[in-house]
Amino acid sequence: MVRWFWQRRRPPGRILRLRSRDEASDVRRVDFQQLAPDVATYLGQAAYLQLGYVETLSSVIERSPELAHKESLSRAAGAALFKHQALVALIRDRGEDPLELMLPFREPLDAFRRATHGIRPLETMLTVHVTAGLLDDFYLSLSGSYGDTGRRAAAILRADADRSPLVGIITDAIAADDELRSLLSMWGRRLVGDTLLVARGALRSGAAERPGALDRDDEKQVEPVFTQLLGAHSRRMTGIGLDA
């Protein structure tokens, strides 16, 4: 798990290794009130996250030798692009500049994508499935704080992500390879901590001195939501035959 985006650690040694990397929905909507970021921050980060999924999936398409896999992955990339464009349109409808709202998140979210990019295409496919699932759920849970804008954003995030073919590629691969199943399970567990740091970093707290730092009262308020996020993640992993 990365401390934020810049601290690094060494992976555990094993025969089939995860990429050495820098240590660097079922969730109900709730009203975070004072902890929710302002609506511009919410929309800017959500829009850039979707664009990041497009970039990540495009890189996997380029590396995949199977034409059938390329076609399946292109559908997931297209769904993420649709969500990105819809969020950008929502930002413009509010009279704001999408580029200005997304720009503050370019550096940290690009670092997050690099930190969670696997050495194997299957690892990166799982990255998209896990991180997009967790963060889409998180942004849905925040949407109740923004009135009509939040309702429109929630409708966009609930649109079909078209990741079932991607999941099919993963399940087919692990069906005949227990070592790969173990590797991907470990990779999935690693992704959770990094992804929750992104979610926590989106929240604001007057007592916090760094992104994601919450005081005791804040922690009590967000704990039920993060418990739900982790529960949904566990079901997502179990659904594809991996241990959470």
State pLDDT tens for residues 151-179.
999 999 999 999 999 999 999 999 989 89
Q: Determine whether 217 is exposed, middle or buried from the number of CB atoms within 10 Å of its CB (0-12, 13-18, 19+).
A: exposed
* Distance separating alpha carbons of residues 144 and 160, to the nearest angstrom: 20
**Percent of the chain, pLDDT > 90?**
68
* Distance separating alpha carbons of residues 233 and 163, to the nearest angstrom: 15
CA within 13 Å, CB half, 76:
27
Residue 25 lies in a domain: no
Q: Find out whether 6 and 24 touch, Cβ atoms under 8 Å.
A: yes
Task: Return mean pLDDT, the chain.
Answer: 85
Q: How many domains does the chain have?
A: 1
Read off the CATH number of the domain in which 85 is found: 1.20.1260.10
Give the model confidence (pLDDT) of 97-151 as tens digits: 999 999 999 999 999 999 999 999 999 999 999 999 999 999 998 998 899 999 9
Mean pLDDT value across residues 1-22: 39
Q: Determine whether 20 is exposed, middle or buried from the number of CB atoms within 10 Å of its CB (0-12, 13-18, 19+).
A: exposed
Asked whether the predicted pLDDT for residue 221 surpasses 70, the reply is: yes
* Distance separating alpha carbons of residues 58 and 15, to the nearest angstrom: 29
Residue 158 lies in a domain: yes
Asked whether the predicted pLDDT for residue 27 surpasses 70, the reply is: no
The structure tokens 């079909």 sit at 160
Residue 24 lies in a domain: no
Residue 17 lies in a domain: no
pLDDT for residue 35:
80
Q: Which two tokens stand for residue 203?
A: 């929240």
* Distance separating alpha carbons of residues 229 and 135, to the nearest angstrom: 9
Q: Find out whether 87 and 96 touch, Cβ atoms under 8 Å.
A: no
pLDDT for residue 207:
44
Interior angle at CA 115, CA 113 and CA 118, nearest 5:
85
pLDDT for residue 205:
55
Residue 7 lies in a domain: no
pLDDT for residue 160:
94
Residue 166 lies in a domain: yes
Asked whether the predicted pLDDT for residue 68 surpasses 60, the reply is: yes
Residue 201 lies in a domain: yes
Q: In this predicted model, which residue has the larger pLDDT, 134 or 204? A: 134
pLDDT for residue 213:
59
Residue 133 lies in a domain: yes
Nearest Cα residue to 46 out of 99, 83, 89: 83
pLDDT for residue 26:
54
At 239, is the secondary structure helix, strand, or coil? helix
- Longest pairwise C-alpha distance within the chain: 54
Domain encompassing residue 37: 33-239
Asked whether the predicted pLDDT for residue 206 surpasses 70, the reply is: no
**Percent of the chain, pLDDT > 70?**
80
* Distance separating alpha carbons of residues 162 and 166, to the nearest angstrom: 8
Q: Find out whether 1 and 197 touch, Cβ atoms under 8 Å.
A: yes
* Distance separating alpha carbons of residues 106 and 104, to the nearest angstrom: 6
Q: How many CB atoms lie within 10 A of CB 45?
A: 23
* Distance separating alpha carbons of residues 46 and 135, to the nearest angstrom: 9
Asked whether the predicted pLDDT for residue 22 surpasses 60, the reply is: no
